[in-house]
Structures are given as C-alpha cells and as structure tokens.
Chain A
Amino acid sequence: MSKDLSEVIGRVLPAPENHLSTELMEAARKARRSFMGKALAMGAGAVASAAGATKALAAEGEDAILKLPEHTTGLGAPVALHGYGVPSKWEANLQRRESPGLTRVSQASVSFTPLQGLFGIITPSGLHFERHHQGWWDIDPSKHRLMVNGLVKRQRVFTMDDLMRLPSVSRIHFIECGANSAPEWGNVALPSVQYTHGMLSCSEFTGVLLSTLLEMCGYDKKNGKYVLAEGADGSSMTRTLSIEQAMDDCIVAWAMNGEMLRPENGYPLRLVVPGVQGVSWVKYLRRLEVGDMKWATKDEAVHYIDHMPDGTHRQYTGIQECKSVITTPSGSQTLLDRGYYNVTGLAWSGRGSIKRVDVSVDGGRNWRTARLEGPVLPKALTRFNIDWVWDGKPAILQSRAIDSTGYVQPKINQLRAVRGTRSVYHQNAIQSWLVSENGEVSNVQVY
C-alpha cells in the first residue's frame, strides 16, 4: 500500500485475497468523490474512507470497532484527579453565553443557558443562566446574615448556621427571567433557542419556607400585606412580594441541586419565588421587611414593567405564564438526514403544572398531543417528546402548552393584540422553527 494512496483515499485495510488490482485502485482514487468511486471501493471490500463526508463501511466492519482504541488498550486516569468533577472535554461547546449587544456592561448582563443541548428538566448548576445587576460575589457564608424586620413582633437576625438548623424543604422549580424572549416582541432577532429562551433554568432548591421565618418573627397578620426582599450585593436588589405569595411556597434557599448555591446564583442565600420572574428571586438575600404598601423599587418602577399600547405601564406583573419551546430540533441546528426524529422540548407555567403540550409541524394548522416525560411538577419545567418523520419538505415546528388552569399558550399576534409591540417583558408566545429543505432550522414567526 503506497503512502500517497492512503492519504488520498483513506486507510486501506489489507484485503486477505489482495484482489484489488492496481488499476482498479487508481480508478477508485480518481473517482473517489463520485458514487461510482465509492461503489468500486466498497465493492472491493477493501477501503474504509476516513476522510470525506461519507463513512464507507469496509466489509469487515468499522474501525471504531475493529481497531481497539487507546482507552480500551491503555491505563486510564486515577480517582480524584478532579476533586470536583467536570464535564467531558467533548461537551465544551455547551456553555453559558452572552448575547452580543444586549447589554454594554458585563456586570449588568445576562448569560444564557444552552437549552439546545440539555436533557430532562434539571439544569446543570454550572449552566444555570446568570443575570447580575451589579456584578456577582462569592460571599463568606460565616459572615452572611439575614434580617427580618418591619411589621413583625420580633425583628430577628439569622446566621447561616441558624437557617440551616430550621426545618427544610427541597423542591424543583423553574426560574425564568421576565425578559426571556423579550427581543422578539416585534420581530425575529435571535438565531438559536439558547438566546430566544435561555434565561430559563430549573433546579431542586433546598431551604426553609419563608412562611416558617415569618411565623417565627410573628408577622402582623392584619397590616402586613407585603414583603420586601433585599440582597446584600452592591445593587441591593429589592422586590415586593404579596404576603399571600410569601406565606404560600416561597423558599429561603441555600442549596441548588444537592450542593450549596453557586456564587453566580446567590451563594449563600437566595429567595425562591415559584412561578414568578427571576428578578424576584433575590440573590445574596440579606433582609426581609414586612410592610403595608408596595415599594415601587427601581426594578418594579422603571424595569420589569409592561409597556401597553395606550402608553401606560403595568406594574408588579411578575407571574411567568404558561410557555413552551421545542429545543431539538431548534434554531440554527441542522438535521443530518430525512426520516425519524424525536422532537423534544420544555413546557412550564408559573400558575401550576403542565396539563398538555401539543406540537404542530405545519405552522399551527394541525396539532398532535406530545408525550409528557415525568415528573410533571407544579411551577417546574416539564419535558415533552413527540415522534416526527421528516420527509425532506419545508416544515414549521411549533409547541403549545396548556397548564392546569386551562390557560392555552398564546400566539405572538394574540399577545400583540393586547399588549402591543413595544413591550419588553413576559413574552410567552408560541415559538416557530422553520425546517428548510436543506435541513437547516431557523427562527421564524408564523401565526
């Protein structure tokens, strides 16, 4: 076997009979890009193409099986090489990423979760989206304090030691930024699901119920109508909660997915406000104040307000309503073949659990009901799957979620009819992905 030949047509396995003539081999080399060339090579049963776009299978089988790789024939790495394990190097493309031009300062910015590559409903903690208003910190937990004040019988201070002694709960909830999908109120702007929907994560949070703390401090049941949550970072993020919400299912959480919170997500303490936009999940939580009126803080008076067509703004609209998105196949991905696909995606509702998800492959003309992959939990991401056979023709994929209240996820034109096109927050429209004949998937609006 000549070296040149192997470079041109790939690895040549020695055929036992050696019946491939020099002439035939030369013909195969010249015509290697043509179908005839491949047929010749395969017919000869001697060539496996390592280069080129098509993996020709030698009659004996694939190199991946026949040639034992180093990891089968050598010694592997020792235990505890990584005291804290890290993902495979082959997974390095799946990263949190910023959206260029979205913000101009990286301390008041966002990184988006790569939803296009995730499975099930739990977001790996290292891929949880970030939203910081004035940079993030890694706070010494032994010096962190939580104060409860205002309309309470006893104004109290808790150390982390104190809080972690209290009766705790662990619950799975989604967190979605109120501005998720915001750039697309008017028109399509973003290439992939990471940027259209990636201010979304779902984790198991562990902490003490906020209701437990408020009861311990003897909150004023008559006049205490609201709770202010405040962070310990420079922005000292503040948001108003209703007392009903505070006493319902909010968690003062220190843990996420079995470990302590990551610094980017509020270590050592954050508020979990199930079903409500992420800005209310105050990180580095230092203070809770019970009061008798709403606070109109910056992020409930200038931002996170809904701009309506008549020029007014709706204030305190925090519920993340029912929404869904197909994550595979999704924007800027390319299909590799015609035929069967398991179309998969995520659905969620801030008002309860997901009851049903329907999927259309014809732009919303006809719908089929998808399979919900358990667990189906309230105010948590729910994974759905549905079978689809792609025939090579253009197709428009959509998903439409229905929650336990019966609310049906709206189309973008229905949202615009009520809220106009200059709104920013709380865009929960049906997402459309166009699969073109070339196999590429792109972001479109169809309704």
Chain B
Amino acid sequence: MNALPSIFAARRRPAATLAAALVLTASAGLFPTTAAWAQAAAAGPGSAAAAKPWHSIGRDATPAEVRAWDIDVRPDFKGLPKGSGSVSLGEQVWEAKCASCHGVFGESNEVFTPIVGGTTAADIERGRVKNLEEGSTFPQKTTMMKVATVSTLWDYINRAMPWNAPKSLTADEVYATVAYILNLANVVPADFVLSDQNIAEVQKRMPNRNGMVFYEPLWRVDGKGDVQNVACMKDCPIDPKVRSSLPDFARDAHGNIQEQNRVIGPVRGADTTRPPRAEPLTQRIEIAPVVVAQANSGLSDPRLLVNANSCTACHGMDKKIVGPGFTEIAAKHAGKTDLEAYLAGKIQQGGVGVFGQIPMPPQPQVSAADAATIARWIAAGAK
C-alpha cells in the first residue's frame, strides 16, 4: 500500500504541466470560441450542410470504379455485357473448371446439390416443373428445376464461380457455361450459341419460369403472417400423442451431447454414446464433469504460451533446466521432416529417451492449436 501514493506523487507534476499547456492552446485560439460557433451556425441556416454537416464525407466514384464493381445482371438483363458463348466451348470450360464439383453432366450430388435434372420437355412448354408438385417422388430439387430467371445463372456464375477462383471467367466463358447447363437441361440444342442478343428468347424456355410467386406479406415488415395460431390457455384441443421423435440412430449423430453442455447448473448433457438410463429418476444423480474440447488459449505469441503453460519451469530458452532448452531441441531435430507435428505430439503426449532418461510428462492441458503454435516456434529455431 505504500507504493501507490508515491506513484501518484510522481505523476502530479506532469499533470500540472499539461493543464498549463491546455490553458495556453485555448488562449492561442485552437479551441473554438463562442464567436466561432456562432459563425459556423450562420454559414448556412436551413441548408443541408448546416443540418447535416457530414454530407460531404466520402468522395465520388470514378466511372472505371463503378464499372469494376457494378457486375450485377438483373432479370431484365440490365448489366449484361455484350458477348456470346457456344455449348461446345461451355463443355470445355465445364470439364476443366466445374465438373470436379458438379459432375460432368451437372448431375452430381457429391459436393453440391445437382444443377441439372428433374425437368422435362412438358415443363419447358408450360414454364412450371411437375416434379416440384405434391406427389412427386423425384429425390432432388435441382437448380434447373427451381431457377425461373436465366439472368440468375449468368449473374451467379460470373460473380462467384469457379468455387476456388471466383470472377476468373471471361464474359464469353460465362455465356458458354450457361449455354452448356441449358443444353444439359434440353433448353437449348447442342449447336447453340448463347449471346446478349438471344438470351431473352432463351428466358421464354426456362422450365420453371412461371413457378415463382411474390408473396408480399412475408417481404414487408408490416405484413400479416399466412399461418396463425390462437393463444388458447386451458384444455386446448391437442392430440398428446408424440407424432415424431428423434430416431435412435440420430442419438449420437452430433457427437456426445454431454460434452456439448456445461459441467455445472441445473441440467447436464446426456451421454448420447450410451442408451438412455433404463430406470426412472427417483433421487438426485451426480454426473462427473467432462470438459472435452480444449479451448484455444487465444495466445498467439509462443513465448507467452510456454510461460502460461509452465514449460519454462523445465525448459530454458537455450539451456537445459530439467529438459533441454528450446533452441537445443531445434538444433537436434534440424531438417527433420514433419518436425512441427512431431514436436506438437511430444508436447501433448510427453516422451522420454531423446534427451536422456528423465521423462517429460504429457501436457493435455495444452490445446492442439497452442501445441501447434509452440511446435512451429521451436521448429523455426525458438527465436
């Protein structure tokens, strides 16, 4: 308690100096005076600048900047650049850049839901997809079954595809890719060339072009919901039968829920790796605390990590204490392949015999992420 007054005493003088400085700057005119405020107010009574003095913040966009970013294409094709692409060029682009995820015929359900499938010549005629109607047994809702607007395909492929290199296709390649998809769905023939000139005609053959409804009450905040319940309070008409319950196979499909709940409080997570308790709960039960996921410490500096985890109790930076110094470890294993993984494993699991017979105990409190951080640092020479 003796230290505090002396700290404050030491700070008193600079504070007084600062106060004096403030007086000086104020008198030198750096602080606005009453007259200055009055002047600012008089500059534009009633003008936008006075009412909203922030209005000049920002700058005008240049035409080139707007062109670079304004890439959207609307259902009326505003924004669509000039160009064209054939089905056959589309096939080349597809096989090189799209098929690995979507399948050669856009049919794959491996990575994403299929793009093509489920539409018929009758759908193209009618503009409605039969397989979307009740009673259909078609297993998927493919993109071509749902999408009503060909502009959507063009816009999305242009802005977001390929998956790992979005915006890398030329306009003609985008036309070609859209043409290829449309051909797979029998909307256009195999020798078709899609362009800004004929895309509006193609729109008239989209299989689900008449399948969209704009339902305003769920678009507007002040709309009225389409499904209403009543707030019955007593003897309400229900069937108390359980209509659906979690299937047995789903009990632990999301892991052990015990390990996804807090270890204190009024309830615990159930151990979903085992069947439910057979007997009724008649008296208080205890469930041993299980903390599984090791939280990352949030520390990114390995030197803080080795301190926080008490590594430095046994390891010096460059000298042996109980175990080897960190730089000694780096030197011994220099050039070893997979060194980071090796060291991270040693940190978490411990080891013996590399630097003598004193074992290093396992350090399970160190999360995998932290162990990796420390290992990376040691492998790089512990600097």
Query: Which residues of A approach B to under 8 Å, CB–CB?
Result: 53-55, 77, 81-87, 89-95, 97, 99-101, 104-105, 108, 114, 116-117, 133-134, 147-150, 154-158, 162, 165-167, 187-192, 194-195, 212, 215-216, 228, 230, 234-236, 238, 242, 244-245, 248, 275-276, 286-287, 289, 291, 293-298, 301-302, 305-319, 321-322, 328-329, 331-338, 341-342, 350-351, 356, 358, 362-367, 392, 396, 400, 402, 405, 407-411, 414-415, 417-420, 422, 426, 430, 434, 436-447
Tell which of B12-20, B37-45, B80-88, B216-224 binds the partner: B216-224
Binary contact track B206-228/A, C-beta < 8 Å → 1, others 0: 00000111110011111111111
Bound: A109/B322 CA distance, A: 47
Verify B213–A337 contact, CB threshold 8 A.
Answer: no
- CB within 8 A of B281: which of A116, A319, A335? A335
Q: Is the CB of A189 within 8 A of B250?
A: yes
Enumerate chain A residues within 8 angstroms of B254, measured Cβ to Cβ.
97, 99-100, 190-192, 194-195
Known: A336-B267, A366-B236. A319 touches B74 (CB 8 A): no
**B interface list, Cβ under 8 A from A:** 52, 54-55, 57-61, 65-66, 69-72, 74-76, 110-112, 128-130, 132-134, 141, 143, 146-149, 151-152, 155-156, 159-160, 163, 166-167, 211-215, 218-236, 238-247, 250-255, 257, 259-270, 272, 276-287, 289-299, 304, 308, 365
CA distance A175 to B179 in the complex (A): 38
A156 near B218 (CB under 8 angstroms)? no
Q: What is the CB-to-nearest-CB distance from B234 to chain A, in angstroms, rounded to a whole number?
A: 6
Q: Specify which chain B residues have a CB less than 8 angstroms from the CB of A442 in the assembled complex.
A: 245-246
User: What separation, in Å, do the CA atoms of A215 and B65 have in the docked complex?
Assistant: 21
Closest to A328 in B: B267
B143 touches A297 (CB 8 A): no
Known: A94-B262, A445-B242. A297 touches B152 (CB 8 A): yes
Whether A89 touches B295, Cβ cut-off 8 Å, given contacts A104-B112, A308-B213, A358-B231, is yes
Question: Would you call A93 and B262 a contact (CB within 8 A)?
Answer: yes
CA distance A224 to B167 in the complex (A): 28
* A446 lies within 8 A of B238 (CB): yes
B379 to chain A, nearest CB (A): 24
Q: Is the CB of A314 within 8 A of B215?
A: yes
Q: Is the CB of A312 within 8 A of B74?
A: no
A99 to chain B minimum Cβ distance, whole angstroms, is: 6
Query: Which chain B positions have C-beta within 8 A of A149?
Result: 61, 66, 69-70
Contacts of B269 in A (CB 8 A): 93, 116, 192, 332-334
Q: Which of B146, B167, B268, B281 is the one whose CB lies under 8 Å from A438?
A: B281
Q: Which residues of B contact A190 (CB under 8 A)?
A: 246, 250, 254
A387 to chain B, nearest CB (A): 12
**In this complex, which of B75, B227, B250 has the most chain A Cβ atoms within 10 angstroms of its Cβ?**
B227
Assuming the contacts A99-B254, A313-B211, asked whether A337 and B234 have C-beta atoms less than 8 A apart, the reply is no
**Alpha-carbon separation in the docked complex, A108 to B111 (Å):** 10
Q: A157-B61, A437-B280, A437-B281 are in contact. Are A84 and B298 (CB under 8 A)?
A: yes
Distance A318 CA – B218 CA, assembled complex (angstroms): 6
- Do residues A311 and B241 form an inter-chain contact, with CB atoms below 8 A? no
Nearest-CB residue, chain A, relative to B293: A92
| Residues on A with beta carbons closer than 8 Å to the beta carbon of B224 | 405, 407
Partner of A234, one of B129, B160, B257: B160
Q: A93-B293, A155-B66, A275-B221 known; A444 and B242 CB under 8 Å?
A: yes
> Which of A242, A248, A294, A440 has a CB less than 8 Å from the CB of B270?
A440
**Beyond the given A187-B244, A363-B238, could you list 19 further A-B residue pairs with CB under 8 A, ordered by the A residue number?**
A90-B263, A93-B262, A104-B110, A116-B260, A191-B253, A192-B254, A238-B155, A291-B74, A296-B151, A301-B212, A305-B212, A308-B213, A311-B130, A311-B133, A315-B212, A338-B281, A367-B232, A367-B233, A442-B245
